[in-house]
Chains A and B, each alone.
Chain A
Amino acid sequence: MNNRKHQSKLAILAESISALRTIIWPIIFIFFRGGNSWYIQGLIVVGLLVLSVILGLLNWWFFTYQITPHEISLTRGILVKKQAHIPFERVQTITRTQPIYFQPFHVFKVSIETSGKNDDKLLFNALALNEIENIESLRKQAQTKRHEEQVVNDQEPKIDAQYQINNRELCVYALTSLGSLGTIGVAVAILTNINDLLPNNFQNQFNHWINSQTVASYAMLIAIAVFVGFIGAFLRLYNRYFQFTIKRTAAQLFLSRGLLTKQNVQLRMSRIQAVHYEQSLLRRLVGLMSVSVLLASSVSNEEVDKQTSIMPVVKEDDTDPVLKQFLPDYQFGRPQKAPMVEKAIFYQLRYVFFINCAIIAFVSVVYTLFKTLTHIQMPYDFAIMSGVFFVLLVYSLASAYAKIAMQAISVDENYMIIQIAMGFTKNIYFIPREKIQSFSTTQTIFMVNKNGQHFNVIIRDGDGRRQVSLRYLDQAALDKITNWLVDVK
């Protein structure tokens, strides 16, 4: 059994960088305590680089893998040996990512996931293209039923449907993103941190310059910051979803995207738990939708970018027909207004109002206590707090109204379609009946006479769950839905 292989040598680079990341923090601390001459500092830097390269080399050397016709196995670890095996039948998604500096070498980062629950996935830092293709074809063989084998045999798989993102729509999508505000936040945070690291005289100059500016130039500065943040967010989204393409062959979906870092995902349609449309208020004005799928996977939801986008942006009117080509079994209609109890809007507004009152009362009491105990005086505190409370109240009442107004549900033979509002963002879920894992209803004693119930549907998302909730549904209508849900096929 000596046909175990190492990854491409580029993996040494990736391993070194990740080793550098783990050991750099204590070093930075030592570095900035100061007191060392530049000579010693240089030595530290060189030592750090050498150490991380050595660690990277060791990690690479002890990371071996083996591909047999039935499974892929992986051994890693310097002191503690870890082994993982995944049979090809159980592979569910294969994701390959290619950062720009990998592109000349035809290697990819690869992650292979199953639908198990305990984070069981294989992660390769750098794998050559022919190895990946080998894995993909072995998986296809393992997951193809025998009687189909003769048909599929050897010929290029037929592409049943293909869709590529439209460049103009991508631009509009990136422009209507609110992420720019986040980018500004990051920029401000970096600037204020840099401020502490700069030499004193420079800092003084900077402060002097800041203090001598007029209101107009402050406004200018803020405008520039917003603009830069905006551009940053635009480029980030544009880069991420550049030339987003989705293809379907039989029951497999292939996604590819990215300008600088290219990413490529293969997934089995049977693993899709639900299809999710999302449309923020801004995007509703420009008539664009985003579509993603909820997958059963072994990777926890906390990981960034876990949501699997299958169409980052598409014209609202095109969404259903285009998607139908990729998910032919799904019914993409619009749900009907949810059957709610009378005055549901009033109840929801009243509920949110009381919650807000409780929060306001609590904050006010704590603040007053704090003020009397510490004798700290804040100028205009009453005015500021009233303003904040007012904005909070108006926002939450408006979103409560939107929540009830947008609630919708319908069921047909095999699918449940639910529309809910999160803030002012419209969300529509298309859920096959057998993917609804369980449901619950809640009500307070005050709702009993009104025959009202809140209704929660639980579906799998990643290795956890997602709950979709409708409020103040009418009892009789809800009974019909729940009977549909438990009806065993």
Chain B
Amino acid sequence: MIKTNQGMIPKDAQSLPQSVKKMWLLINLLGLAVILIVAVVINIFLKFDWQNPILLGLNGVVGILLIIAIVDIVLIPYNYHFYKYILNEDAISVYKGFFLRKSETIPLNRIQNVDTRQGPILRLFHLHNIVIVTAANAFKIEGISEDVAQYLRTQLISAARQAREVETDE
């Protein structure tokens, strides 16, 4: 039985490894640094002339981006705590959020292929993104540990292979 209501997230749903929190923090801090550097460069370039409406507007945008990045950082424990995934015998589901809740489910026999991806930051934390592709869309489980990623991938692929209906026509 799949329960779609996250109020009843299945008890055996998996959390992401703890190191994901550090990774999200690092990504957000890097983002914050980039925004700040860009802001300083723009201000130097326009000679800190705060009367200039263009600079005022740009600084406003930078301010909003900064607030978003900081809110993101503050929300890391929240996002982490309510991010769960579960692999059942016929479907894989991901659950997100508490105030705004979302669950996504892919029945295993609709899976076309499964990719694991690892950028430099993920590599630093020995984490992988696993991307599950259907004919219409792709959905991602962010930051799971290496052996779990391998395990999931082989599970998903073998399940998908078993469940794949053979397309016949004519």
Listed in ascending order, the chain A residues whose CB lies under 8 Å from chain B are: 143-145, 148, 250-252, 268-270, 296, 434, 436-445, 448, 451, 453, 458-461, 464-466, 475, 478-479, 482-483, 485-489
Contacts and interface: CB of A to CB of B under 8 A. Distances in A.
B102 A442 contact: yes
Interface in B43-92: 88, 90-91
17 contacts: A251-B170, A270-B169, A439-B105, A441-B4, A442-B101, A442-B102, A443-B5, A444-B99, A445-B99, A445-B100, A448-B7, A451-B5, A461-B136, A478-B4, A482-B2, A485-B107, A486-B108
A273 B110 CA distance: 13
Interface in B111-170: 134-137, 139, 163, 165, 167-170
Contact of A488 (B98, B106, B108): B108
Nearest to A481: B4
Closest 7 pairs (CB-CB, A-B): A270-B169, A460-B136, A465-B136, A486-B91, A437-B134, A437-B136, A440-B104
B105 A434 contact: no
Interface of B: 1-7, 88, 90-91, 98-110, 134-137, 139, 163, 165, 167-170
B4 A486 contact: no
Of A144, A441, A459, A465, most B-chain CB atoms within 10 Å: A441
A434 B1 contact: no
A438 B5 contact: no
A488 B110 CA distance: 10
A296 B135 contact: yes
Contacts of A144: 170
B105 A252 contact: no
Of B2, B6, B135, most A-chain CB atoms within 10 Å: B135
Given A485-B107, A488-B109, A488-B163, A143 B100 contact: no
A268 B170 CA distance: 9
A442 B5 contact: no
A23 to B, nearest CB: 37
A419 B135 CA distance: 23
Contact of B170 (A145, A475, A478, A479): A145
Contact of A438 (B7, B105, B165): B105
B1 A251 contact: no
Given A479-B1, A482-B2, A440 B105 contact: yes
Given A439-B105, A460-B136, A483-B1, A434 B110 contact: yes
Contacts of A444: 99-101
A482 B4 contact: yes
A453 B5 contact: yes
Given A252-B170, A488-B108, A440 B103 contact: yes
A442 B106 CA distance: 15
A466 B165 CA distance: 22
A445 B82 CA distance: 13
Nearest to B5: A475
Contacts of A434: 109-110, 165
A464 B105 contact: no
A288 B110 CA distance: 35
A269 B169 contact: yes
B109 to A, nearest CB: 5
A443 B3 CA distance: 14
B103 to A, nearest CB: 5
Contacts of A448: 5, 7, 101
A250 B108 contact: no
B1 to A, nearest CB: 7
A479 B4 contact: yes
A439 B92 CA distance: 11
Given A445-B101, A485-B107, 12 more contacts: A252-B170, A437-B106, A438-B137, A441-B4, A441-B102, A442-B100, A442-B101, A445-B99, A448-B5, A482-B105, A488-B90, A489-B109
Nearest to B1: A483
A448 B6 CA distance: 9
Contacts of B134: 437-438, 458
Contact of B165 (A269, A436, A458, A489): A489
B98 A445 contact: yes
Contacts of B98: 445
B142 to A, nearest CB: 16
A144 to B, nearest CB: 5
Given A144-B170, A464-B136, A483-B2, A441 B109 contact: no
Nearest to A270: B169
Given A453-B4, A475-B5, A479-B4, A438 B104 contact: yes
Given A459-B136, A486-B90, A487-B90, A441 B169 contact: no
A83 to B, nearest CB: 26
Contacts of B139: 438
Contact of A436 (B1, B2, B4, B110): B110
Nearest to B132: A438
